[in-house]
A and B are shown apart, each in its own frame.
Chain A
């Protein structure tokens, strides 16, 4: 891209939240008439970068230049007024209003100080025809499929300000293949009209299908900006996961230990699946082994964990635990079956922040016993103290509200909650996310020692080296399906190849 073409440039953007460096000196540039993909795993900083650009958060340092002029984006309204429009992942329009009303709400054409309905419908139709969308604009938005709603959201974003920059935040996540094609058609049209488009997605094939350039973020830092045509898919994955391929070649191969192959079968999933979450898959877990789940964000890792634990009910296949078929798919049922899950979303699905450390630790045990058979205060103290000591949870006392603890210690509290139920099958979904390096190593060691005690562990992580280091067996997921299962001699390259699939990214 020649410099003359640059419409928007962000230089050295820093943003820290309490305890996290969300953005650490990130540069990003955008040319008129390009589609620029922004990729990275969870926590890479994509959404923070977009929030800076749209004025939702203020950067701590860094400059933003739009069309040659330094700008400070004060608020989302301000961003719109200078031509930066955003379409968010969840369509945030009003399903009960007509498409025309949704597109022109707040800026309805007026006549005699009243809304001119006919002019409004005409105008909306014009905009949509410009996007090659042919629908009845007088019908309520909610009566159309998500793809059309998405188009209406884009039409609205365009109409607002004579947008120059359009940000599409995971617009394809709820679209099917045909609808995605339709959206791409619109994006091509807008690109031809000179709009600069930022396209956030975690579907890599879409990056190759439509993006002119792709910027990779990882852990709040810029990894680089590349031409997709010059970047094989496996290299893109390597960059997202924080590896250089050259580095990979030098790495010693890891022999996945077949330490515990002879362990008893604990859990069998047979054709287990749920529409829209994960394709039917088979999986066996044995006592004393660690099975790693590897795959990119959105590949179905968390969905597998949810099905095995009973968060969601499967609509095909079956689960058998210790030879007994599972009928009650619920967390409570899982506690009774001695299956445990440390969930991925620590704040939303893990801790109960105003309860004390003690209460958080005994919560699952108590739930398993039912409300009538309350643990006596001395039993509660005994359990809490044991796990605070075992996991070295740093807390002033067991009476501290768990919300006051650091992320790593909160993670340990959740781990303690589940270890206290004495599980035979332990599913850990991203147990090391957002905690410091020392704590990560501790968690990994703990997983290995738990497997050594004869527990069957499932270890989910987007850090590939972590999965490699801890697992006996690695299950590969891609696009919400289990695609492979690796044992024996494996290296990171092989795993990335498996994650990338058969195409090598030169498409």
Chain B
């Protein structure tokens, strides 16, 4: 009898959306533990926590931010390739607002041309407008999401360069640098991630927006017939994705204290998409989504990168090795493997 009651519990655990992403994360972390017994060690310096795990979370914060927005877009059945470029645009906007005089950079850490709140709000507005552009092309222009967002993916970096006239603006203003470099026991960027996550969660799960997004992703025609304004739902998803990319751009530029239009957020769209896919939201098909599972997915992506460095994969081989690991992870997450694990873990017929 014990077995009979245990099996459904096991089934419920294995059917949870979080189960497989967490298993993958655990495997990667265990791998690190085998390689380096002190991997999980934490130090306290000035009351702040430091360590490998904290590093993974801190370095992963930009991808986590992107993954939150990307989850909503992918859930509508779309995809946003432009988030990396939007990060670059917001970095340029923020840097220019802090230091508009490109000829003579002020290196006083207490000086900014624009008050910090204005810098943040203006940057996020610009990023949201980028999302609006993507959303309008997809929802009202009827362009395939991949093609529509490819436009800004390519043009975005050019725009980012135009904004700063091709100059990499160094940022000396300390309060801004705190976004990506500050610590309040934990890295400050994690608080930003938490705040955006809570906003996204409330927005989708405490209003009807989450259900509308899922409904549109599963069957947009049925949703339209049911009175859902399916175009506006898509538009909102892309706008929020742009907002998240803007946030990620702020954190990234603050972290390296410069607006680097060529490199900020480069290839991050792919990490974000993979994070969402690892989190179990179906790319292309859309539908059911879990924001928390996407966060786990983002941590998995960062853990892979960090582990590569930790075991000494040279930087120039990193992308190739990472590709192999990602393929393995995706295979692990395939329906066949999942079903196999479920059968083994909890046989249906006793």
Contacts and interface: CB of A to CB of B under 8 A. Distances in A.
Contacts of B214: 352, 354-355
Contact of A331 (B207, B211, B218, B224): B224
Interface string A341-358: 101000011111111000
Contact of A352 (B208, B223, B229): B223
Given A351-B222, A355-B215, A371 B209 contact: yes
Contact of B227 (A334, A349, A355, A372): A334
A139 to B, nearest CB: 27
B206 interface: yes
A172 to B, nearest CB: 26
Contact of A354 (B228, B229, B288): B288
A343 B207 contact: no
A474 interface: no
B340 interface: no
B78 interface: no
B287 A354 contact: yes
B226 interface: yes
A355 to B, nearest CB: 6
Contacts of A330: 227, 229
A306 to B, nearest CB: 10
B227 A352 contact: no
Interface in B180-224: 206-209, 211-212, 214-215, 218-219, 221-224
B221 A349 contact: yes
B65 to A, nearest CB: 23
A341 B225 CA distance: 8
A388 interface: no
Nearest to A309: B225
B222 A352 contact: yes
Contacts of A350: 222, 225
Contacts of B226: 331, 352, 363-364, 367, 417
Contacts of B288: 354
Nearest to B286: A354
A8 to B, nearest CB: 38
B189 to A, nearest CB: 30
Given A352-B218, A363-B215, A374 B225 contact: no
A225 interface: no
A375 interface: yes
A311 interface: yes
A359 interface: yes
> Which of A334, A353, A366 has the most CB atoms of chain B within a 10 A radius of its CB?
A366
B221 A355 contact: no
A369 B218 contact: no
Contacts of B225: 311, 331, 341, 343, 349-350
> Which of B208, B222, B227, B228 has the most CB atoms of chain A within a 10 A radius of its CB?
B227
Nearest to B203: A371
> Which of A352, A366, A369 has the most CB atoms of chain B within a 10 A radius of its CB?
A352
A63 to B, nearest CB: 38
Nearest to B233: A371
A149 to B, nearest CB: 23
B218 A371 contact: no
Contacts of A152: none
A375 B222 contact: no
Contacts of B207: 371-372, 374
Contacts of A366: 208, 211-212
Interface string B217-257: 01101111111110000000000000000000000000000
Given A352-B215, A366-B208, A371-B207, A332 B222 contact: no
A12 interface: no
A368 interface: yes
B240 to A, nearest CB: 13
Interface in B307-330: none
A371 B208 contact: yes
A334 B211 CA distance: 21
A374 B203 CA distance: 11
A348 B221 contact: yes
A353 B221 CA distance: 12
Contact of A369 (B208, B219, B221): B208
A335 interface: yes
> Which of B209, B212, B228 has the most CB atoms of chain A within a 10 A radius of its CB?
B228
A363 B230 CA distance: 13
B153 to A, nearest CB: 26
B201 to A, nearest CB: 13
Contacts of B219: 348, 351-353
Contacts of B212: 366-367, 371
Interface string A304-326: 00000001000000000000000
Contacts of A332: 227-229
Nearest to A342: B225
Given A371-B207, A374-B206, A375-B208, A354 B227 contact: no
Contacts of B287: 354
A355 B211 contact: yes
Nearest to B232: A371
B285 to A, nearest CB: 9
A384 to B, nearest CB: 13
A170 to B, nearest CB: 22
Interface string A370-393: 111111000000000000000000
A374 to B, nearest CB: 4
A181 B229 CA distance: 43
Contacts of B209: 371
Contacts of A373: 208
12 contacts: A330-B227, A331-B226, A332-B228, A349-B221, A350-B222, A350-B225, A363-B211, A366-B208, A368-B227, A369-B208, A371-B209, A374-B207
Interface of B: 206-209, 211-212, 214-215, 218-219, 221-229, 287-288
Sorted from nearest, which 8 A-B pairs have the closest CB atoms? A367-B227, A331-B227, A374-B208, A332-B227, A335-B227, A371-B208, A363-B226, A371-B209
Given A334-B227, A351-B219, 11 more contacts: A352-B222, A354-B287, A355-B215, A363-B211, A363-B215, A366-B211, A367-B212, A367-B226, A368-B227, A371-B207, A371-B209
